Amino acid sequence: MPLPPLTPYDEIADAWDAARAVLRPKEAGYLDLLLAAAPAGSRVLDLGCGTGRPIAERVAALGYHVVGVDRSPALLARARRHVPAGKWVEADLLAADPPGPFAAAVCWDALFHLPRARHRAVVDKVYRLLAPGGRFMLSSGGSATDLPAFTDTMFGHTFFYDAFPVDETVRLVRDAGFEVLIAELADLPDGGRDKGKLAVIAAKPR
Ligand SMILES: C[S@@+](CC[C@H](N)C(=O)[O-])C[C@H]1O[C@@H](n2cnc3c(N)ncnc32)[C@H](O)[C@@H]1O
């Protein structure tokens, strides 16, 4: 039986909350494109929402109704404080099945905590939960080449990471039925510890 992936965010909740308070470069633009087709006041799904800050907080401030899913109770407790209007669901990304449809969905910096063999299941779930024309904002690993799954430390704790090479992730999103609007490196790999980050904005056909 393989060990479950390590995602001990409960152990680093305060440090993570402090470190992840504001949008990083490019994220505001990605959110603008994500929401450009979402009707005012519609529902937006945030898978792996963490503390709700800064992404759900921005989405809610623009008048959308956020449903956030995460398996870390400590981060969800902070999300309830940061974005009281949101609906916060404690669940694993793979098991969660919130009632759709959603006008837009986000899975940002969370997919790479799952084994790559499970990535397609998350993308298929999002496709199913989106309304026609709904958009999806996804990040995954930014390596052009095939890297084995690995662990790394954050605030003294060990975290699991896995991702397909960039081209394969983009193909996976297309194969699920999405039209890819943007697929680019939001962060470049540094050749060492930082494997970079792929950003994808995709649309479910109308
Ligand atoms: C790097 S944080 C990103 C949080 C937020 N999306 C952001 O952009 O700041 C990764 C998040 O994914 C959540 N996560 C990781 N694996 C998960 C899983 N299998 N099911 C649900 N949540 C998961 C973690 O608890 C954490 O909140």
The CATH code of the domain that includes 181 is 3.40.50.150
What is the extent of the structural domain holding 191? 9-203
Does residue 2 belong to any structural domain of this protein? no
Cα 43 from Cα 112, distance rounded (Å): 24
Ligand 1 within 6 A of 49 CB?
A: yes
Residue of 93, 118, 139 best suited for mutating to test ligand 1, as the one with most atoms within 8 Å of CB: 93
Is the dihedral angle over the CA atoms 154, 199, 87, 58 positive or is it negative?
Answer: positive
Cα 113 from Cα 179, distance rounded (Å): 24
Does residue 64 belong to any structural domain of this protein? yes
Does residue 92 belong to any structural domain of this protein? yes
Does residue 36 belong to any structural domain of this protein? yes
Mean pLDDT check: name the lowest of 44-53, 70-79, 129-138, 188-197. Answer: 188-197
| Atom 8 of ligand 1, residue of closest alpha carbon | 108
Number of domains, the chain: 1
Nearest-atom number in ligand 1 for the CA of 9 is 25
How many residues can be counted in the chain? 206
**The whole model's pTM is what?**
0.97
**Neighbour order of strands in the sheet with 65-70:** 87-90, 65-70, 43-47, 102-107, 130-141, 197-203, 179-187
Q: What rounded mean pLDDT belongs to the chain?
A: 95
In the predicted model, what is the mean pLDDT of residues 162-167?
97
In the predicted model, what is the mean pLDDT of residues 142-149?
94
In the predicted model, what is the mean pLDDT of residues 151-157?
94
